[in-house]
Structure 1
Amino acid sequence: MSPMNLSPLKGLDRTAVLTAVAVISGVITVILDTTIVSVALHELADELSVPVSTIQWVSTAYLLALGTVIPTTSWLQAKVGGKRLWMIALSVFMAGSVLCSLAWNAPSLIAFRVVQGMGGGVMMPLMMTMVAQAAPQRDMARLMSIVSIPAALGPILGPVLGGFILGNASWHWLFLVNAPVGLIGLFLAWKLIPASEPEKGARLDVVGLLMLSPALVAILWGLSNVSGETGFADPLVFLPVGAGVALLVAFALWSRRRGAKALVHLDVLKSRPTLVASGMMFLFGASLFGGLTLLPLYFQDLRGADALGAGMLLIPQGVGSLVSRFFAGRLIDGIGARLTALMGFSLITLATVPFAMADGETSMQLLSVALFFRGMGIGTVVVPVMSSAFTELERNEVPHASIIIRVCQQVGGAMGVALVAVILTTVTQSSGSSATGFGTAFGWVIGFAVLGIGVALALPGRRRAEETAPA
């Protein structure tokens, strides 16, 4: 191994590293906020004197806001420039956080979560775009492994920080804690991200926006309405999902007609690495979020943990995901994105098996070890997908690919959560056994990961990646 490979930063392009540091410092607020709020939903319901079904809109409203703004990211970047847009989006997220901390009842909190979602929805795809545009292809794998670190830290720090705040301060600090972190992120973005000029003549595809944003909102809202009692037969599920799919088809036809002037240029999917990465992120989202839905429920229903305790029991998964970031980039450099992704999905598959076979007496030590390796698999999948998705694209095509990949992960995650929720409830009721219900639901999570293995086979190998990389 050469000396250059001994450090994750050594030898990397300086501008790309500074950009990565700046976006990491900002996006950590978004990821931490998501995990903190998910732990605190029951406490928020009690504090605001509303049922859990109402406070669940704190998460749903945020999700729908993401679906609304994600498609606009490419146009916004062209209109105002990447650096300026990043600082605006982070400022909007911070403003939403402060407003959430000042909320006086559940409706006001839900409304202010929409403001947060509008900022966070721009930041997530923009983060990938800015790093991909700044990084030479030779540095992409190691930089993406660094940029994805916040996603690993969130599940580790979020439950701990959320529990600490709830135990020592009022719930308002769950949101106000974002302010100082966000201010650091703004300062670093101002100092470290190179300025980029807006593109002349950037016009908003209004017709495309009126198709794509409502399509995503309808699909995400419909899937969020899935319940164990009625499943997908509920009109509040199949009507919005059906309408959303119809709008997506209409947008695809419109985008083909508009070409590069479309809100999201779907021709980027003609690049095999981009197409494969999008499919992988859909299945990865289903496996990741389906598992994240089942795991805390398993620890609460079968092992007697409370919400905070269940979050703490998930820490080994976050640690495994964090550890994987330190070798995934070098692994891709050594054996290629395809084999790395295959290893990651295989780890997710094998490490989820103990949960599919678990009951209320299964060794917690065994499950903790399984969670650690599941986390390693999660981290090992993300990096090759993010690093290979843009290899055959021009600079101006990268924002469109980032949006598509983010949308695929979001919709895949919503679908995975909806499916496992229905399966868990249905099987538990029919069998009279919670353990059987969890076992079957975890089996579906395993199935998503197995499908991911099949899709990963289409990723470019090391030799092809080297041939397609720009000189």
Structure 2
Amino acid sequence: MYDMRYAVRNSSWTTGLVVLLGVVMTMLDTTIVNVALGTLARDFHTSLAGIQWAATGYLLAMSMTVPVTGWAVGRFGVRNVWLVSLVLFVAGSALCAAAWSLGSLVVFRVVQGLGGGLLQPVGQMMLAQAAGKERMGRAMSLISVPAMLVPVLGPPLGGLIVQGPGWRWLFLVNVPVCAVALLAALLLLPREAGAGRSERLDVLGLALLSPGLVAVVYGLSEVGDGASLLHPALWIGVALIAAFAVRALRGTSLVDLRLFGDRTFAAAVLALACYSAAMLGFTVLVPLYSQLAAGGSALDAGLLLAPMGVGAAITMPLAGKLTDSRGPRGVGAAGVLLVAASIAAFTLAGGGFVPMFTLGLGHGLVATSVMAAAYKTLAPAAIPAATTLSTITLRVAAPFGVALMAVLLQVFTRAGAAHPFASTFWVAVALAAVTLLPIALIGSGTWRRSSSAPA
């Protein structure tokens, strides 16, 4: 007899619900604490430079765990890794809310980051495996827009919480959401066969790649805060990653760089890297522009970003269907053109809700289609390794975009530019337009012939 519970449990939409419940709070925590740093510094009687580690420690811990994603899923199973990651994240959240000193808060934020760093790539992996090639676009639409927009909305939400119940609730709000996520995962995620058959952990590769990623992300964040491009952490990280890459290309490694031999995967990951650098760099500067150049408040900055979410929510379902039926290249290119035009319109008009709304429309098209393209031509067995590799690339691209825009803003300001923000935004337009080059390399003919998903 047909078991309806089995069908529901294994549907991509059920998996999408589980993933969203688990991932949204981890994404939010990348930025929600930033607005409370002044309050935290005062309560813990420390400097702003010291309390900055409450934010930096979380991001660095997230970067550190990504390289083991593929190995951990193969060794323990995706369901078990997901559950353990959620437990780590919620435990870290509760401990952060009870922190009594700067040291304790930083340690507990690292615990949070260790869990949160696994949740996003594992969730993306689960969606890709549950959807199959025919529904890849629609599955990726469930995670691509929150991945970009939720961190952007963190600062205004954090401001409301700090002004209301207090900074400890920045972490306590995670507990009930993660409890529901845990329950949903226990009830809806199937126990998969095949766990425990992974290759032995590449300890040397891990010793090169994880510290390398941490050093690069830290170095880029320091450059964005005004440090020199010769910051030692940045170049030590580059050297470690280069050493890992040389070793990986010679044999078995923690991350399979041979996946870049697949043209569609390589082009999609490069497009996502360029696009993420442009978009995150721009959206991080928008609140600063709103407050410093336009004289608005933190709430005004949050409201200025809100139309992005509305626009993305409109195009997200459409992008998923079009990607599944017609391929990602045209959908992604149209989205990039709309995003670049919207940033240009925002720059020329000196702000405005309409350009941010159309920016969201374009973002919904780009993120969904290009993320789906990264998985479309790969065998199911390659998805865990591909997720690890793409996540590592994006973890470097995002802080690079932020650092690039911050450095350029400083350069234009020191050079006496009449409108330093506008000059920096034009660079974001150019970087977004560069995304069209790798998108052009994504094949579409094979996609159309192989897809049988209903429109």
For normalisation by structure 2, the TM-score amounts to: 0.92
Following superposition, the deviation at residue 160 of structure 1 comes to 5.5
Report the counterpart of residue 65 of structure 1 in structure 2: 61
Amino acid at match of 2:139: L
Question: Is the contact between residue 156 and residue 319 of structure 1 (CA under 8 Å) also seen in structure 2?
Answer: no
Q: Is the 8 A contact 1:89 1:123 kept in 2?
A: yes
Contact 1:137 1:470 in 2 (8 A): no
Report if aligned partners of 1:282, 1:412 keep a CA contact under 8 Å in 2: yes
Q: Structure 2 matches for 1:12-51, cutoff 5 A?
A: 14-51=10-47
Specify whether residues 264 and 470 from structure 1 end up closer, same or farther in structure 2 by C-alpha distance, changes over 3 A only.
farther
Corresponding position of 1:449: 432
Cα distance per residue 1:126-149 (max 9 Å; x no partner): 111111112221111111112335
Shift of 1:229: 5.0
Q: Percent identity?
A: 37
In the TM superposition, 1:384-399 aligns within 5 A as 384-399=369-384
1:175 CA drift (Å): 0.4
Alpha carbons of structure 1 residues 152 and 280: separation in structure 2 relative to 1, 3 Å = closer
- For 1:406 and 1:38, locate their aligned partners in 2 and report how far apart those are by CA, in whole Å: 23
Equivalent residue in structure 1 for 2:241, among 222, 245, 248: 248
What does residue range 303-342 of structure 1 map to in structure 2 within 5 Å?
303-342=294-333
**Which amino acid in the other structure matches residue 356 of structure 1?**
T
CA shift at 1:428, angstroms? 0.9
Deviations 1:102-141 (A, max 9, x none): 1112232222111111111111111111111122211111
Counterpart residue number, 1:8: none
Q: Which moved more, 1:41-50 or 1:287-296?
A: 41-50
Q: Secondary structure at the match of 2:32?
A: helix
1:203 to 200, 203, 206: 200
Q: Report SS of the residue matched to 1:232.
A: coil
Instruction: Report if aligned partners of 1:73, 1:125 keep a CA contact under 8 Å in 2.
Output: yes
2:101 pairs with 1:105: yes
Structure-1-length-normalised TM-score: 0.89
Report matched runs for 1:209-220 at 5 Å: 209-220=206-217
Change in Cα spacing, 1:151 to 1:394, as seen in structure 2 (3 Å) is same
1:348 aligns with 2:365: no
Q: Which amino acid letter does the alignment assign opposite residue 353 of structure 2?
A: S
Q: 1:282 aligns to what?
A: 273
Distance in 2 (alpha carbons) for counterparts of 1:85 and 1:95: 15
SS in 2 for 1:226: helix
1:38-437 paired onto structure 2 within 5 Å: 38-151=34-147, 154=150, 158-159=154-155, 161-197=157-193, 198-227=195-224, 230-233=227-230, 237=231, 239-259=232-252, 262-358=253-349, 362=350, 367-431=352-416, 433=418, 436-437=419-420
Equivalent-residue separation in structure 1 for 2:374 and 2:274 (angstroms): 15
**Which deviations, in whole Å up to 9, do the C-alpha atoms of 1:354-408 show, x marking residues without a partner?**
34335xxx4x5xx111111112222211111221111222222111111111121
Shift of 1:328: 1.0
List runs of 5+ in structure 2 lacking aligned partners: 1-6
Task: Indicate the larger mover: 418-427 or 162-171.
Answer: 162-171
Across the aligned residues of Structure 1 and Structure 2, the Cα RMSD in angstroms comes to 2.3
**Which amino acid letter does the alignment assign opposite residue 242 of structure 2?**
V
Once the two structures are overlaid, the 10-residue window that deviates more, 145-154 or 197-206, is 145-154
Specify the alignment match of 2:4 in structure 1. Answer: none
Q: How much does 1:429 deviate?
A: 1.8
Show structure 1 runs of 5+ residues with no match.
1-10
**Which letter maps to 2:213?**
L
Are the equivalent residues in 2 in contact too, given 1:285–1:413 (CA < 8 A)? yes
- More displaced 10-residue stretch of structure 1: 319-328 or 340-349: 319-328
Provide the aligned length of Structure 1 versus Structure 2: 446
1:203 to 1:159, Cα distance in 2 relative to 1, 3 A? same
One-letter code aligned to 2:60: L
User: What is the deviation of 1:241?
Assistant: 2.1
